[in-house]
Amino acid sequence: MGRKKLLIVDDQIGIRILLLEVFATEGYETFQAANGRTALDIVRNHTPDLVLLDMKIPGMDGLEILKKIKEMNKEIKVIMMTAYGELDMIKEATDLGALMHFTKPFDIDEMRMAVNLQLGEGGSRSKFASGS
């Protein structure tokens, strides 16, 4: 079985680079996208196992991207990343199939543990309701 694939979707390059470095060292095949169109192209062409998806992205918001990902493949796991105060969107994201969310700025070790838990043996659902 090949390496697990992880897609990072965030318009902030600093966050993408940080997450790419962390998850590449964890052994994942990592992809990045700064916008919804690129993210959906990667989903279509590479079928990631898990997507770390920012809620606020110019052009197409995280909820819209989440809906489209789930339409393409319900099996793809999604963890949302949000700025403080987007609680109404978090509930909608959960209803659409997001597993959990992390509020920025997030603890990178908590994020790493959550991703490893989701992509690890069996990929069982997390015991954590959210990342923060």
Question: Which pLDDT tens digit goes with each residue over 33-82?
Answer: 999 999 999 999 999 999 999 999 988 999 999 999 999 999 999 999 98
Asked if the model's pLDDT at residue 126 lies above 70, the reply is: no
Q: Please tell me which residue, 86 or 24, carries the higher pLDDT value.
A: 24
Q: Render pLDDT for 20-32 as a digit per residue (tens, 0 to 9).
A: 999 999 999 999 9
**Going along 1-132, which residue ranges are E strands?**
5-9, 29-33, 50-54, 77-82, 100-103
Q: Please, which residues have CB within 8 angstroms of residue 78's CB and are 6 or more apart in sequence?
A: 50, 51, 53, 66, 69, 70, 93, 97, 98, 99
What share of the chain in percent tops pLDDT 90?
A: 77
Class in CATH terms, 5-119: alpha beta
Reported pTM: 0.89
Res 131: pLDDT: 43
Mean pLDDT of the chain: 90
> 3-class DSSP state for residue 7?
strand
Per domain, the residue ranges of the chain are 5-119
